Amino acid sequence: MFLTDELDLSSPEDEKRILRSEEDRSFDEIIGHIEDLLLEENFQALQHEFLEKYWNIFEPIEDNKLIYTDIFNEYNKAVEAYIVDYLKKVMPQFTVDTLLHQLNEKQTELEGEVFEILSTITDFLAFKEMFLDYRAVKEGKVADLSCGISVTSLKSCNVENSKNPPR
């Protein structure tokens, strides 16, 4: 039995559920592509370039310097353009307005690295915190754990190994 058989398509509630489901799938697809983008060397290089160029300007104090706004705007423009170009290549129907609308609607549900990176584009305090964290690593105030992180695939277990497990 198809989903549409169970739903009364003339019902506004059912129409909203179907539309919401399509929006959720679209949002999940966009976030999946952004997760892929975050792992790309080019994106990491872009972000690292900004951090290296400006880390020593940011200070761990309450007051914000006027130059922070200029750096934030420059970073915002570069990262947003990179993300939009990438998404338009993999999803020709992608629009920024749709993404911003969906992010706004789901704001309370969002967590994880993808949303932390996205928040550095839209939230000045998250952006400043990213620079202050980088500064602390550069100054040796906290350990740089990124060099110890490695992503590897799991090896498949063959029949021979499963009969004689290591002791």
pLDDT tens-digit series, residues 43-60: 999 999 999 999 999 999
Per domain, the residue ranges of the chain are 22-139
Q: String of b and e for 113-148 (b: at least 16 CB within 10 Å)? A: ebbebbbbbeeeeebbbbbebbbeeeeeeeeeeeee
Cα gap 62→88, rounded to integer Å: 38
Cα gap 19→80, rounded to integer Å: 27
- Total residues found in the chain within this entry: 167
Q: What are 156's two structure tokens?
A: 């498949």
pTM (predicted TM-score): 0.66
Q: What are 96's two structure tokens?
A: 């920024």
Question: Which CATH class for the 22-139 domain?
Answer: mainly alpha
Q: What are 32's two structure tokens?
A: 């999946």
pLDDT tens-digit series, residues 52-90: 999 999 999 999 999 999 999 999 999 989 999 999 999
Q: How far is CA 143 from CA 52, 70, 133, 139, 166, in A?
A: 17, 29, 11, 10, 35
